[in-house]
Structure 1
Amino acid sequence: MSFEVICFDCDSTLSKIEGIDELARRAGMGEEMSRLTDAAMNGLVPLEAVYEQRLALIRPDSDSIDWLAGLYIEEVVDGVKDVFTALALQNKEVHIISGGLLQAILPLAKHLGLPENHVHAVDIYFNKDGSYQNYEQSSPLSKTGGKAEICRRLIKSQGSLVMIGDGKTDMEARQAGACVIGFGGVIDRPVVRDLADFYTSGPSLVSVLAYIL
């Protein structure tokens, strides 16, 4: 199959980390956050049930977000650069759709040659001193069904958009008529194996090219 619009999750798909868990570890509360993240990504609880709770506990400041931005790039998944180069050569429209924090993901997107307006993530707000203020509570990506909503905005014709990701929230893109590829190269989730149209266990992201070009 060939798709005009190619969308990627970020955490555990383009980068080997889960950003919110790394922020939690930096704040000394890693295990608790990992349990909440796993519950949401495996579809055991709605995303909105844990999203606000996690950020309210961690309260990441601007320095933490800058640190996380660097970590996303440092821990990039094998083959990501090759995939983005191949898609650019085919003139494909590429987007990142993530429930992660926008300011932390934008440097990774720039590293991969993606324009800022092709990054869909949750904005975070700081006070003048750089301390945590709040996040974009109106963002659909902080809620269940949010990725489907973004895909509906991007989709051009039935079946022309594909979403690649590792979690239950990525599988929601099917609600928008998108094809979904589960990527298990970082985390292998049985629920994603069951729900995805196609599935690859990686570990290199290059394995998805066989399904999208």
Structure 2
Amino acid sequence: MLGPAMAAITEQEARRLWKEADAVCFDVDSTVIREEGCDELARFLGKAEEVAELTRRAMSGAMEFREALRLRLELLRPSHADVSRFTSQLPLNVSPGISELVQKLHSRGVKVFLVSGGFHCLIRPIAAALNIPAENITANKLLFDFFGNYAGFDESQPTSASGGKARALQRLIDEHKLRCLAMVGDGATDLEAAPPAHVFIGYGGNVVRPKVQEAAPWFVHHFQELIDALSESG
């Protein structure tokens, strides 16, 4: 969970750091988008229940994240054609206010990144709609063979393993020489990424996770709260 320094941050201090941030990382599933991308893909492929059970086991700590990811993908075995049909027929829905928030951050010269345990191919259309460059996405990458069949996933991606979001954020801080990085998300893995994030803001617009709400120095239910805070004086 939060390190000692982060745990001591008050909401007032979190608000100050939010306004001073030169970069913001957003989680994607149940944060930037209203759904869980992997669950929606599983439903599309008719394997929702099997994947949901593996997700529950992973979330309860009964299984290491990479193993859970591997097993879920072995159940789905999504082809390149499956992914293309899914993204064209059932586009994922962005959360209310996220487009305006990203636009506001960009207008202030703040870098915006997406860091997710989900799949790059599902997130890329969302990023494009929000004018976030594809190179600002850190997510798991599906691998396909010459014929477009499922061939595994890229295990070099930090978010394919437990603790990966913290490693991804540290890499962003180092590469971009960030002075103040804010992390916004709904889940425990987002909470655990601060530090290295300088401030964590919990988001409950789609689902409220009690442990995250309790531990976050600042918890919001709508992105409008973050937009308004950028305009506050003092």
Q: Same fold (TM over 0.5)?
A: yes
- 1:147 matches 2:169: no
Q: Give the 5 Å matches for 1:3-82.
A: 3-41=21-59, 45-70=63-88, 73-82=91-100
CA contact (8 A) 1:164 1:182 kept: yes
1:134-161 deviation line (CA, Å, top 9, x unaligned) = 1001221011111101111122456x11
- 1:194 matches 2:189: no
CA contact (8 A) 1:41 1:169 kept: no
Structure 1 unaligned regions, length at least 5: none
Shift of the 43–95 alpha-carbon distance from structure 1 to 2, 3 Å rule, reads: farther
Q: Please tell me the residue identity of whatever aligns with 2:135.
A: N
* Distance in 2 of aligned mates of 1:42 and 1:195: 18
* Distance in 1 of aligned mates of 2:213 and 2:57: 16
TM-score, length of structure 2 as denominator length:
0.81
Of the structure 1 ranges 185-194 and 172-181, higher mean CA displacement relative to structure 2 is found in 172-181
CA contact (8 A) 1:73 1:111 kept: no
4+ residue runs of structure 1 moved beyond 4 angstroms? 41-45, 70-74, 210-213
> By how many angstroms is 1:98 displaced?
0.7
Q: Please tell me the residue identity of whatever aligns with 2:76.
A: I
Shift of the 6–143 alpha-carbon distance from structure 1 to 2, 3 Å rule, reads: same
Q: Give the 5 Å matches for 1:89-168.
A: 89-155=107-173, 156=177, 160-168=180-188
Q: Percent same amino acid among aligned pairs? A: 33
> By how many angstroms is 1:54 displaced?
0.5
Of the structure 1 ranges 72-81 and 12-21, higher mean CA displacement relative to structure 2 is found in 72-81
Structure showing greater radius of gyration is 2
> By how many angstroms is 1:50 displaced?
1.1
State the SS of the aligned residue for 2:123: helix
1:92-147 deviation line (CA, Å, top 9, x unaligned) = 01000011111221111111111111111111111222211110012210111111
> By how many angstroms is 1:44 displaced?
6.1
* Distance in 1 of aligned mates of 2:52 and 2:69: 12
1:140-197 deviation line (CA, Å, top 9, x unaligned) = 1011111101111122456x11111111111121131431111111111112113322
